Structure formats: C-alpha cells, structure tokens
Amino acid sequence: MASTPHIMAIDIGQTSTALWLAAADLSRSAYREVSGFRHRIETAPDGSCPDLAEAVEGAVASLLADLDCAPARVKAVWCSATGTPPDLPQRLSRVLPRAEIRVISDSEAAYLGTLWRAPGLTLIGGTGTVAFGRNGERRAVVGGWGYLFGDVGGGWGLARAAIMAAIAAWEGRGPETELAARLLEHFAVDSFRTLAGKVYSGELSRSQLGRAAPLVIELAEGGDAVATAIVDDAAAEYAGYIRAGATRLGLGRAVHVGYAGGVLSRAPVLRAAVDRCVQRHGITVTRWVPGSSLTGAARCALDAAGVAMTDDVLTAVLDATAGLKTQATGA
C-alpha cells in the first residue's frame, strides 16, 4: 500500500473546505473538513485567509498520517475553489513536492463531478449559486455574482429572504408564516432585533445564516405559502441559469442538468420547481445528474495521475465522495 500512487481532491467552499486523499486504485481513502473561504472584504486587508491556509495544510498532514502515505506518493492535487488563499498552492507544493497541483473554479469542478465533459449544464446551489456548462469547445458560466449581487437560490439567499419575510410577519406588515417562530427557535434568539444585532456584530456569519435554508425548504414542502414563494423565487434564478446557458451553448430545448451543493442536493421540491419553471419557457430537463465539486476535483486528479476514466471509475468516484461534505449548505 505504501508504494501505491495517491491523489488528493480539495473543495474550498464558503461554508467549509473538504479534503479527500485516496489511492489511485480507490482501495482506500481518508477525509477531513475544515473552515471555508471568506471573500476579500471579509478577510485581512491583503485578501489573505491565514486561518484557512493553515487549516488546509494541517488537514493534509493529518490525511497523510491517516493512510501512512509518504508525501512523495501523492501524484496529483486538484482544488475546486469558490476562492483560494493566495499562498495555498505554494503551501501545498512544499508539503507535496511531487504532486501536480491545479486549481479550478468550483463551478467547473461541479460540472466535471456531474456530467464529466458531456454536453449539458450544472447548477451549484450551496451557500451561493452559479452554473457552468459545456458543449464541445463551447463553455458558459452563468451566475456566480456573490452574495451582494446574486445567490438568491443559495443557502444565504434563502435564509435572507426567509428572515425578511419573517420580520415582516413579526411586525404585522406581511403575511403570517411559520417562518417567524421557527427561525427564532433555530437561531435561539428571543426577537429578530436580537438576531439582526448578532448578524451586524459579526457574531453570526453568512454561512451560519445559510444553515437555516433547510428550514425554508421543509416549510415549503409542508405548504407554508411564504416559504413556497421564497422557493419559487430561488427556482426562477436556477431556471434563468438553465435558459441562458442552454442558449449560449446551443444545447437546444432538451438539456442534461447536473446539480451540486447542499441546497440543491437536499431539496427535491426546489428541483421540481426549477423543472416547472423551465418548462414554461419550452425547455425540458431530460436528466438530473447528482454530484459535487469534490467529486469533480477527485476525477480530475485521477485523470491527471493516469487513471483511465471509464464509466465504472467515474461512478466509483461519485459513490466514494457523495455526501462527504456535512454542511447542509456547502458550495
């Protein structure tokens, strides 16, 4: 085992960072999860994320120890990233001196972790939202504008809309909804002013707020009209991604769609709403294909290490990495 080549996949999301070390024959693997990436305006003045870079470096060392794997045996490391600490590739090179180290966007990794190079479009719905598609040499990215200018259908967007609707109900200027009581319970606060204070003081982060997204989905599934309207707004964003991506890629009216991220992966009601929305515009999702950015990074690392990417291998990687990320809104 000690001489078997290994690969590593790293998925840096806004909520958490996942690391997976595996033998190239997939006979064994180990997993770690550390903190996620923060945008420049949320980090140090130079845009660095020292805590994340150090956490990743420490997790790599732990994974190597878990599998008793010498650093020189790691042949390829592929990182999927919402954002990357500037010094992370250099740090990884020092720890894994013989590894080919590549960084790609989380959206492209999610596409490769679902459709693997086949024509189609992949939606990511984690803390934020974005879509990536390919059709031959043509590529398209739709969305990915971050929490200030988009992300309606992500964990952050769903939670923000739910809190705004709950505040309106709480103050008597909006329709009644179970969201009001359930959100206060979820965040363990006595009022929405207390909740707002925790947000503005930095005590609650965007990713922590995003963990309320499953509550919105649950109430929508239960028939709460306000929660349902929020889910429909989220679905409209994803449907717009599909429509724009299909047009730009020349995919026609029948589209294979991959999906990744904690929100979309755990919300059949949301995917069904997306289906209905695109159908109103004459587009049919012919197949929904699950996967993740971590799966895509792992497939790319194996490919770079010389493993033949047969259908059996693609499926084995998906099976091995599916559900590893524990955060409900992981990107």
Whether CATH 3.40.50.10490 fits 6-114+292-321: no
Average of per-residue pLDDT across 134-163: 93
Average of per-residue pLDDT across 184-194: 95
Instruction: Map residue 32 onto helix, strand or coil.
Output: strand
User: Which residues does 128 contact at the CB level (< 8 Å), separation at least 6?
Assistant: 14, 82, 144, 146, 147, 150, 151, 154, 156, 157, 331
- pLDDT digits 0-9 by tens, 259-301: 998 899 989 999 999 999 999 999 999 999 999 999 999 999 9
> Is the pLDDT reported for residue 126 higher than 80?
yes
Residue located via tokens 């909804």: 177
- pLDDT digits 0-9 by tens, 209-232: 989 999 999 999 999 999 999 999
- pLDDT digits 0-9 by tens, 56-109: 888 999 999 999 999 999 999 999 987 666 778 888 888 899 999 999 999 999
User: Which residues does 164 contact at the CB level (< 8 Å), separation at least 6?
Assistant: none
Residue 116 token pair: 């693997």
Domain ranges (residues) in the chain: 6-114+292-321
- pLDDT digits 0-9 by tens, 20-57: 999 999 999 999 998 766 544 344 444 444 577 788 88
Give the pLDDT confidence score for residue 55 in this predicted structure. Answer: 85
Least confident interval from 30-39, 113-122, 188-197: 30-39
CB 126 within 8 A of CB 251: no
Give the pLDDT confidence score for residue 40 in this predicted structure. Answer: 47
- Percent of the chain residues past pLDDT 70, beyond the cut: 92
Give the pLDDT confidence score for residue 252 in this predicted structure. Answer: 94
- pLDDT digits 0-9 by tens, 230-253: 999 999 999 999 999 999 999 999
Least confident interval from 38-42, 102-106, 181-185, 189-193: 38-42
